[in-house]
Amino acid sequence: MTAGVRLVVLGRQGAGKGTQAVRLGKQFDVPHISTGDMLRAAVAAGTEFGLRAKSVMDAGQLVSDEIMVGVVDERLHEVDAVERGYVLDGFPRTEAQALALEKITSEHPIHVVLNLEVPESVVLERITKRRVCTTCGRIYSVDAPPADPWRCDLDGGEVVQRADDTEEAVRKRLDLYAAETLPLVGFYRDRGVLCEVDGLGSPDDVFARLLAAVEAVRQS
Ligand SMILES: [Zn+2]
C-alpha cells in the first residue's frame, strides 16, 4: 500500500482553485504542483523537458502538450511526489493530457479528481470586478476597494484592472475551458474518481467541503 494522497483539482479560472489547491497540499503534507510553478522549476533545473520548454517560451510560443506532459512526468517521479503524493493544479487541461496523465500514473493512480464547481456567471463577475496593485500585487475588488480609491492600502501603489481581466478576455478563457477542459468532468466520472464540490460560499466553507470529499475517498 502507498501512503499519501494523489489529487487533481479542476475548476474554471476564478473559482478559487489555486488557493484551495495550496491549502489541500498543506493539509495533507504533499507538494502542491501547479503547471506554472512546474514549468519554471523545470527550466531552472535544466531538465530535458525544462530546456525544451525554455527554448519554446523564449521564442514566444506556447508550450506544446508533449513538452507539458514531459514536465509533469518528470515532476511526479520526484521523490516527494512518489513517497507522499501531490495536489495537481492546472493539469490536465485537455483530454489528450488526461490520457497522458493516466499513463504516467498507471502504477500509482490518482485517488480523486475534485471539480470545484462555480457557475460561469459568478466567475465572470468575480474576475471583471478584480483590481490589482501594480506595486505589490495585492488583489482588491470593485466591491471592496482600498480606503483611498484606487491607491493600495499597503504601499500607495496604483490599483488597476489587469488587461486580461476584461469581460471579453474572461469570456474567451471561459469558452476555451468549456471546449477543452469541461469534457474532463465526464472523463473522470466514467473512471469513478470524480468528486464534484460546490465552490460557492466562503473559502473556509469550500475548503471544508473539499476535505470532506477527500476523506470520504480515503476511507472507502
Ligand atoms: Zn500594493
pLDDT digits (tens, 9 = 90+) for 69-87: 999 999 999 999 999 999 9
What's the CA-to-centroid distance between 37 and ligand 1, angstroms? 23
Is a pLDDT exceeding 90 seen at residue 219?
no
Alpha-carbon distance of 55 to 101, in angstroms, equals 24
Contact 90, 177 (CB under 8 A): no
What CA–CA distances, in Å, run from 163 to 24, 62, 135, 149, 166? 30, 19, 16, 19, 6
Name the DSSP class of 180. Answer: I
Q: What is the mean pLDDT of residues 37-56?
A: 90
pLDDT value at residue 181: 93
Residue 155 CB: number of other CB atoms within 10 A? 11
5-211 CATH: 3.40.50.300
pLDDT digits (tens, 9 = 90+) for 84-140: 999 999 999 999 999 999 999 999 999 999 999 999 999 999 999 999 999 999 999
What's the CA-to-centroid distance between 135 and ligand 1, angstroms? 5
Write out the residues surrounding ion ligand 1, Cβ under 5 A.
Answer: 133, 135-136, 138, 152, 154-155, 157
Q: 162 catalytic, yes or no? A: yes
Cα torsion angle, 194, 217, 77, 17, sign? positive
Alpha-carbon distance of 132 to 15, in angstroms, equals 17
Domain boundaries, the chain: 5-211
40, 84, 129, 130: the active-site residue: 130
Q: What percent of the chain has pLDDT over 90?
A: 78
- Element holding 196 (H helix, E strand): strand 194-198
Q: 151 catalytic, yes or no? A: no
